[in-house]
Chain A
Amino acid sequence: MPTAAIDPPGITWLRVSPKYVTVRLVEWALGNLVMVAVLSLPLVFVRLGWWRWPPLWLAIGIPAFMLLLALWRLVLIPRQVRAIGYAERDDDLLIRGGIFFQRVMVVPYGRMQYVDISAGPVERGLGLCTLKLHTASAGTNAGIPGLPAEEGARLREQLSARGEARLAGL
Chain B
Amino acid sequence: MSAGGLASGKPDGEWLRVHPATPFVRGWVALAAIGYFFGRDSFERMLQGQPLIDDRIAGRAPWLLGGGALLLVLAVLGFILSWYFTRYQVAEGYVRVNTGFLFKQQRQARLDRVQAIDIVQPLLARIFGLAELKFEVADAGESAVRLAFLRIDDARQLRATILARASGIRLDPEHPEAAAPEAPEQLVLQVPPSRLVGSLLLSEQSVFVVLGAAASVMLSALTENRAFFLYLIPAALGLIAAYWNSFSKGYNFTAAISPDGIRLRYGLLDTQAQTLPPGRVQALRVAQPPLWRLFGWYRMQVNAAGYGAGANNGEGGSRTTLLPVGKMDDVLNMLALVLPDPGTADPLRVFHQGVNGLDSDAGFVTTPRRARLLAPLGWRRNAFAATDTALLMRSGRWWRQLVVVPHQRTQSIALQQGPLARRFGLADLVLHTTAGPVVPRVIQADIREAQALFDAQAARARAARRRQTSEQWLAQVAPALTEPAPTPLVEPAETPDLTPQQPPRLASSPREPGWRGPKLDQRPPTAPQQEGQQRG
Residues of chain A having any CB pair with chain B under 8 Å: 3, 5-6, 8-9, 91-92, 100-108, 110-111, 135-140, 142, 166, 168-170
Would you call B417 and A169 a contact (CB within 8 A)? Answer: no
- Given the complex of chains A and B, what is the CA–CA distance between A91 and B459 in angstroms? 9
Instruction: List chain B residues, Cβ under 8 A from A8.
Output: 451, 454-455
Among B305, B414, B465, the residue within 8 A (CB) of A110 is B465
Pairs across A and B, CB under 8 Å, 18 listed: A3-B422, A6-B447, A6-B451, A101-B418, A104-B414, A105-B412, A105-B413, A106-B413, A106-B454, A108-B411, A111-B412, A136-B434, A137-B412, A138-B435, A139-B411, A139-B439, A166-B465, A168-B468
Would you call A102 and B412 a contact (CB within 8 A)? Answer: no
Top 6 closest A-B pairs, CB basis? A139-B432, A137-B432, A137-B411, A105-B414, A107-B412, A135-B411
Among A100, A135, A142, A168, the residue within 8 A (CB) of B465 is A168
Instruction: Point out which of B115, B435, B465 has the most chain A C-beta atoms below 10 A from its C-beta.
Output: B465
Number of interface residues of B (CB under 8 A): 36
A166 closest partner in B (C-beta): B465
Instruction: List chain A residues, Cβ under 8 A from B458.
Output: 91-92, 106, 108
User: Taking the complex as formed, is B31 at the interface, i.e. its CB lies under 8 A from any CB of chain A?
Assistant: no
Q: A91-B462, A108-B458, A170-B305 are in contact. Are A6 and B430 (CB under 8 A)?
A: no
Q: How far is the CB of A106 from chain B (nearest CB, A)?
A: 5
Would you call A102 and B417 a contact (CB within 8 A)? Answer: yes
Instruction: List chain B residues, Cβ under 8 A from A138.
Output: 140, 434-435
Would you call A108 and B465 a contact (CB within 8 A)? Answer: yes
B308 closest partner in A (C-beta): A138
- Given the complex of chains A and B, what is the CA–CA distance between A86 and B471 in angstroms? 31
Instruction: List chain B residues, Cβ under 8 A from A9.
Output: 451
Instruction: List chain A residues, Cβ under 8 A from B430.
Output: 139
- Given the complex of chains A and B, what is the CA–CA distance between A102 and B410 in angstroms? 21
User: Taking the complex as formed, is B427 at the interface, i.e. its CB lies under 8 A from any CB of chain A?
Assistant: yes
Would you call A5 and B422 a contact (CB within 8 A)? Answer: yes
Instruction: List chain B residues, Cβ under 8 A from A104.
Output: 414-415, 454
Instruction: List chain B residues, Cβ under 8 A from A5.
Output: 417, 422, 447
Q: How far is the CB of B447 from chain A (nearest CB, A)?
A: 6
User: Taking the complex as formed, is B138 at the interface, i.e. its CB lies under 8 A from any CB of chain A?
Assistant: yes
Instruction: List chain A residues, Cβ under 8 A from B447.
Output: 5-6
